[in-house]
Chain A
Amino acid sequence: MNYTRNNYEEHALDYLEGRMTEEQSNRFKHFLVSNPDIYNEVVELKLVYLTPDLSVQFPDKQRLHQTQSNGSPFRMWYAIAAALIILISFVFLLSQPQSTQPTELVEGSSMEEVDPRIEGLQENSPTLLESDLAEVDLGTEQRADDVVKAIKSEPKGEEIINQGSTHRFFAKIDPLIETISVEEAVHQDAERQIDFAKNEVTNEKIETDPSLDRNSFPVLDQLPMTDLTESVLDYELKRGEKLVAISEAEVESDRSTIGKLLASINLIPSGLRDLDKDEIREKVMPEFIASRD
């Protein structure tokens, strides 16, 4: 190998540390003699070597030692942390309230029938705030459950629940209890309103209660809970079911029943309260229109 000014750095240490063959060493010496500046540079390097300060030692070396053949000392802590996370998650899940299952109340109903309508309600209800949606009044939910149970406990109430059109009403009410905002009750006495609904279902004569302002629910009495934007035709095409024409009397009966049920649990979709009654008849109540046609 020829030593040059371009490659001497790679070989200088081998020369100084005696790791060259005799022939290589002689050739490198020849190169150094030919380049005096590099000669001085290389020879002086012999002086500079560092020695470690042995007083510098790792503190508390014992903590690095291991006694187990498997696993790291941190594995146990990882396992404890994982167990705690699982335990906390389990407790959190158990602490969550059980939601009302509408399909248990009404056979043949499904959430798929209800969700599009709820979305429609939300889109067409400018006063329905997200904060309202986020809040679920557990007390109201419980009262609604009580109402349904109370109705089912009555002979005619069970019959109404299993009827066709009312069947749909119940299927549509329950998701509202879970998802749509609940306004502050106009009438705080829930027990009295439950009795009111029960009396209505059983066709018992309702005693006039002056404190119950029925004008507070003008929309609810005519609310069959369908998509605001759907026409009768759209409704039938979308749902794949033919709307059943029912008599005015039945409509009135259904409306009053569902209105009172909603009233009893203080469910008033706020976005619907301001709608014109005629508009509701056209857009909100396809069943009503169908029955008139």
Chain B
Amino acid sequence: MNADHYNQCVHEYSDKLYRFAVSLLAHEMDAEDVVQGVFERLWKRHDKVDFRAAKTYLFTSVHRACIDQFRKRKTEREVKDKLMVAEPYMPDRRMEDRQYIEELLKRLNENQKSLVLLRDYEGYSYEEISEITGLTLAQVKINLFRARKKLQIFLSDCVIQN
């Protein structure tokens, strides 16, 4: 990959990677750092990375970086999860789509979030998601199914409350 290829990757994927990271981490600054760090690593290795494999490389790197972030913030997240369970979510009609999606994603664990985002946002095949996340194909399908089931239950609760 040359400099032109690299810059093309920046143009095509930086926003997608950023959305992916923001949705996973629910923190814009952390997401920005993750994406910038991933592109720095890609540039350092640009002569070893095939341009055709760059997208998978980038999403894999962001996914791993976000998982690392999750582990660092594990205690904090557990507290938040407990709070979320204790306080049922009351949807606001004026809520922006982004906030709504964030509230949905909070119901999922890290793996489930990644799978939903990669599938719904980026349209990756299950085989590609398996490659990016390191999960087996069966694990990808089962986790994605369970994630969608959780989202369905959450949405049903919102409808009932409204």
- Which of A's residues lie within 8 Å of B, judged by CB? 9-14, 41, 44-45, 47-59, 61, 63-69, 72-74
Contact = CB atoms under 8 A, between A and B. Distances in A.
A51 B120 contact: yes
A44 B152 contact: yes
A67 B19 contact: no
Contacts of A9: 141-142, 145-146
Nearest to B47: A70
19 contacts: A10-B142, A12-B145, A13-B126, A14-B141, A44-B152, A45-B149, A48-B155, A50-B116, A51-B97, A51-B121, A55-B98, A57-B18, A57-B19, A58-B17, A58-B35, A59-B32, A66-B6, A69-B3, A74-B40
Contacts of B18: 56-58
A13 B15 contact: no
Given A9-B146, A13-B144, A41-B149, A64 B101 contact: no
B49 interface: no
Nearest to B122: A52
A18 to B, nearest CB: 14
A210 B13 CA distance: 92
Interface residues of B, number: 42
B7 A66 contact: yes
Given A52-B120, A56-B15, A57-B19, 10 more contacts: A9-B141, A9-B146, A45-B145, A54-B15, A57-B18, A58-B32, A61-B10, A66-B7, A67-B3, A68-B3
A61 B35 CA distance: 10
A74 B148 CA distance: 43
B43 interface: yes
**Interface of A: prevailing SS:** loop
B22 interface: yes
B99 to A, nearest CB: 9
B36 A64 contact: yes
Interface string B1-33: 011001100110011111100100000000010
Nearest to B45: A72
A263 to B, nearest CB: 66
B104 interface: yes
B39 interface: yes
B22 A56 contact: yes
B144 to A, nearest CB: 6
A58 to B, nearest CB: 4
A73 to B, nearest CB: 8
B148 A69 contact: no
